[in-house]
Structure 1
Amino acid sequence: MNVVGRMRAWQRGWHQRTKIERVELQSVVLWHAMPWLLFLSWGSLPLGLSLAPELPAQVLGWAMVATAAGQCVQVNRSLRRALDHYLGRAPYPARDLAVSRALMVVMLVLALALQTVDGVEEGLIGFPVAFLVVPHFEALAFALPLRSFGVRFALVEAAVVTGFAAVGVRDGRLLGIAVLVAFGTGVALLSTRCGAWTLSVMWEADRAREVEARLAVAEERLRFGRDLHDVMGRNLAVIALKSELAAQLARRGRPEAVDQMVEVQRIAQQSQREIREVVRGYREVELGVELIGAQGVLEAAGIPCRVTGEPAGLPAAVQSALGWVVREGTTNVLRHGDAQHCAITVSVTEGQTTLTIENDGVPEGRAATGGTGLPGLRERLAAVGGTLEHCADGSLFRLTARVPVSPGADLGDEAEDALLAGAPRVGAS
């Protein structure tokens, strides 16, 4: 039962991650596995099978195997911190890299000692030597710029070649060791740095999309503020002037003051109508357009969406209310969970219009979390007598809005004004 529980918890954790977080997790798992795969193929098996039976060779050889395993353990411990440093999340992991570098030096010393006692078959020492640089340079590839990485490689290459030359390795064998060290370094660099660069680009693109969305909201707020200023600035200036004139006329006992106040009343009523038009133009939406837009956005995000029903003939206020439900519901499908399909249904019966949004892929417990989006929709629908319900059945989430208005009914200006005044903050849930 504990195993099943852990598997379910892991599955919930996986589905709660964003797509970028999943890509990063998969990459980290592969980076953790790579040194162990090379340990088996380059380090332990070739060395263990080619050791001479003499005691010094056995001791040095298996000490190299143990040190190589320690290198793999250390790089697994330090890899996450090195990657976070590359992505700008953590400081330079100096201590981890120092331990990794020390293990690499120990591995090199053991290899040189093994070479001096002729404890391994001719030519097979190159495989462990190629491996000894991989764990350290795998972590180093994340932590250093490419130029500094190249300098470190040159120093290690020179140390390895000098060491083997000092113990009597010459000519082609020495060149082969140099090539194998370069090959191991290249494997470590290409298998890690390319993936890390891809992750950094993906995270940067994600941050850019978030900034773009915020800028779009700010631009729309500026547009709305400018329109409201254009409407109210002129009318309020006229109202102020005519009120001042009416006050002066009233002090003098002139009957024209009444005419001026009547004009002030007329301008105030006109301002009210113009503000209503500005707000309607800013917030009023058409349900048919919202349905088409929601389907296009979801399918562009890789979520098949089926739209059923025809909103034609519904009153403008009903379309506006349900259009906001479509916007908020679509936003929640994109932001929460990992939906594989979505269905939007509009049904019109006598006396009631119903909109249903249903999607799967909702993580357990996510559907019940708080927010301001759904409460804002309830306030907006309540202004015209509508209701909003949501329920979750496993990974299936259903959002249902009902407006008790027959097709073609006219809610009137007061109901429309109440509807517009209750607009929710879309995307905040």
Structure 2
Amino acid sequence: MRKGSEVVGGRVRGWWKQEWRDRNKIEKVEFQSMVMWHVMPWFFFLSWASLPLGVSMKHEALPLVLGWTLIAVAALQCLHVNRSLRRSVDHYLKRAGMPRRDLAVAGALMAVGLGLTLALTASDGVKDEMIGFPLLFLAVPFGQALGFAVPIRRFFVYFAALDVLLVGAFAAVGVRGGQLAALAAIIVVAGLLTLLTSRCGAWTLAVMWEGDRAREVEARLAVAEERLRFGRDLHDVMGRNLAVIALKSELAVQLARRGRPEAVDQMVEVQRIARESQREVREVVRGYREADLAVELVGAQGVLEAAGIDCRVSGSSAGLPVSVQSALGWVVREATTNVLRHGDAQRCDIALTVTGERTTLTIENDGAPEVVPESTGSGLAGLRERLAMVDGTLDVTSGNGTFRLAAQVPLPRPQKSAGAREPEEVGL
């Protein structure tokens, strides 16, 4: 028995880690909303349908048959709305098409339930003051499905038509006066209740997912902007020089065909411009690869704060060697991209510490998924390779929703000038 309970407990812990802790905040909100939407119809079924009918039905054959049939139809409504809920929510979030068949089944079950309610009222099989409770419930599952499927204006039109139809039907079976007005108000309350409990939550989910997509697009745009900058710099360097090389080459061809010695001078000039272009391209690429750490820190803070993430940067890169700044600049770039694309961070702390022998860059953020860091892609492997070129190391830790990346690079020791001697100790 104990072994079985341990197995069940292990499965629950495994589900908790995989199905809950690995979700980002939006997925957790959606999961909680789905649980609420699944439970809500059953809560109303117990409090508004089964219990009021069970205590108010007359103990006669016809009322008992109609009443228990109505309870069974109400239970089928709950089962159907639970089965079709995911499709309805996906339609509202623009992940799937209109669930027309589910709406038709929900409408048919509601129509059957309302017909049974009218029959109970006409046969005087239930107390008059209790008939409003099952009527209030019967509109809730259909209203929930309808709230996800159609615009708000159409939702009100459908419920207004339903209200008019029911008022006419109850008036036809003999309901009059204040009771008829109360039944009309009950349908209005049911419509507003389902609209608030379903549509408002779905609207919040839609806004959150839209914000998440906007953050992902912003990260992609940042990468695209950097590529455009690099392409623009390369074009500025190479465009003019290639045009000059083409013109001088054509001139050299024409001079060579005429046997003019100036052709050699033109080709020498072409060679000089080609070497100069090669040098300038190397400078552009070096400037792209060897990033200024201070610029990268400011850029990372700006991008993260624009994405709604509180970013705090401490430390200064002044005086660090170019090789160290280049390696740590790439760490800042990769870490910023990971914060934007993975997890759901609300804060990010970047700390740069310089001691006498080494420089340490620490980047820590919350909202991280519970995954093995090395499995997230090749970015971390590339950073380790870049840091290895300057004898640096990269440590990655994660847990409890926190992701921490620490890069350490030793500072190069100053070279002694030729002929320099160690100062001698002077005895006193």
Q: Is the 8 A contact 1:349 1:406 kept in 2?
A: no
Does 1:19 pair with 2:25? Answer: yes
Q: Is the 8 A contact 1:353 1:406 kept in 2?
A: no
Aligned residues: 408
Q: Which of the numbers 190, 195, 199 marks the counterpart of 2:196?
A: 190
CA drift at 1:54:
3.4
CA drift at 1:255:
5.4
* Secondary structure of 1:123's aligned partner: helix
* Secondary structure of 1:47's aligned partner: helix
Q: Which of the numbers 389, 392, 407 marks the counterpart of 2:394?
A: 389
Aligned partner of 2:83 in structure 1 is: 77
CA drift at 1:277:
3.7
CA drift at 1:317:
2.9
CA deviations on 1:331-382 (whole Å, 9 max, x unpaired) are 3234334568765454445564343445566544431315232233234334
Bigger CA drift: 334-343 or 153-162?
Answer: 334-343
Aligned partner of 2:152 in structure 1 is: 146
Aligned partner of 2:187 in structure 1 is: 181
1:120-139 alignment, distance < 5 Å = 120-139=126-145
CA drift at 1:179:
1.2
Cα 1:408–1:269 change in 2 (3 A) is: farther
Q: Is the 8 A contact 2:397 2:405 kept in 1?
A: no
Aligned partner of 2:419 in structure 1 is: none
2: CA distance between counterparts of 1:339 and 1:198?
19
Q: Which one-letter code corresponds to 2:320 in the other structure?
A: L
CA drift at 1:167:
1.7
* Secondary structure of 2:374's aligned partner: coil
Q: Is the 8 A contact 1:68 1:107 kept in 2?
A: yes
2: CA distance between counterparts of 1:344 and 1:209?
20
Q: Which of the numbers 160, 163, 177 marks the counterpart of 1:157?
A: 163
Q: Which one-letter code corresponds to 2:211 in the other structure?
A: A
Cα 1:34–1:51 change in 2 (3 A) is: same
Q: Which one-letter code corresponds to 1:144 in the other structure?
A: V
Does 1:5 pair with 2:47? Answer: no
Does 1:46 pair with 2:72? Answer: no
* Secondary structure of 2:317's aligned partner: coil
Q: Is the 8 A contact 2:24 2:369 kept in 1?
A: no
Q: Which of the numbers 162, 172, 191 marks the counterpart of 1:166?
A: 172
Q: Which one-letter code corresponds to 1:10 in the other structure?
A: W
Aligned partner of 1:315 in structure 2 is: 321
Does 1:202 pair with 2:208? Answer: yes
1: CA distance between counterparts of 2:372 and 2:250?
58
Q: Is the 8 A contact 2:77 2:109 kept in 1?
A: yes
CA drift at 1:197:
2.5
2: CA distance between counterparts of 1:192 and 1:394?
34
1: CA distance between counterparts of 2:76 and 2:263?
96
2: CA distance between counterparts of 1:200 and 1:66?
34
CA drift at 1:131:
1.2
Does 1:56 pair with 2:62? Answer: yes
2: CA distance between counterparts of 1:146 and 1:93?
17
CA deviations on 1:289-336 (whole Å, 9 max, x unpaired) are 434554666677787767565432111232122011022123323433
2: CA distance between counterparts of 1:131 and 1:91?
27
Q: Is the 8 A contact 1:350 1:406 kept in 2?
A: no
CA drift at 1:100:
1.6
CA drift at 1:248:
5.4
Q: Is the 8 A contact 2:146 2:155 kept in 1?
A: yes
Q: Which one-letter code corresponds to 1:272 in the other structure?
A: Q
Q: Is the 8 A contact 1:15 1:338 kept in 2?
A: no
CA drift at 1:134:
0.8
Cα 1:338–1:379 change in 2 (3 A) is: same
Does 1:290 pair with 2:296? Answer: yes
1:16-415 alignment, distance < 5 Å = 16-246=22-252, 256-291=262-297, 294=300, 309-337=315-343, 344-348=350-354, 352-358=358-364, 362-382=368-388, 384-392=389-397, 394-395=399-400, 397-406=403-412
Q: Is the 8 A contact 2:292 2:326 kept in 1?
A: yes
* Secondary structure of 1:355's aligned partner: strand
**Percent identity over paired residues:** 64
Bigger CA drift: 240-249 or 40-49?
Answer: 240-249
Q: Is the 8 A contact 2:335 2:363 kept in 1?
A: yes
CA drift at 1:14:
2.2
Bigger CA drift: 59-68 or 311-320?
Answer: 59-68
CA drift at 1:148:
3.5
Q: Is the 8 A contact 1:291 1:307 kept in 2?
A: yes
TM-score by structure 1 length?
0.82
CA drift at 1:160:
1.8
CA drift at 1:133:
0.8
